[in-house]
Amino acid sequence: MGKPFTIQIEDDLKIEDLKKKTGLKTKIEVVRMALNVLESELVKKQKIQRWAKVAKIVGDADLEILKEFQTKDRFKDLP
């Protein structure tokens, strides 16, 4: 069995309210659902951070490549 968990009165009222709104049977189901939502939000945040890092790396590389093609001579032969 796990360690006892002391819940404040205000938190207990919130859990009871959420239990009624979600239709869950027990308080622990509410807490588990909240933990699952929190965990999924954290995973989402971590994915966004990884994508931002990758996008910056790719974006910087693209800028270097574009600089190679930005010459005045490329418009020389246009009508």
Residue 14 · residue 6 · CB < 8 Å: no
Q: Residue 78: its pLDDT value, please?
A: 72
- pLDDT tens digits along 18-76: 999 999 999 999 999 999 999 999 999 999 999 999 888 888 777 777 777 776 676 77
Distance, C-alpha 8 to centroid of its chain: 29
Report yes or no on whether pTM surpasses 0.75: no
Q: How far apart are CA 78 and CA 64, in angstroms?
A: 25
Q: Which two tokens stand for residue 32?
A: 């588990």
Q: Which two tokens stand for residue 58?
A: 């790719």
Q: Interior CA angle at 22 toward 19 and 28, to 5°?
A: 40
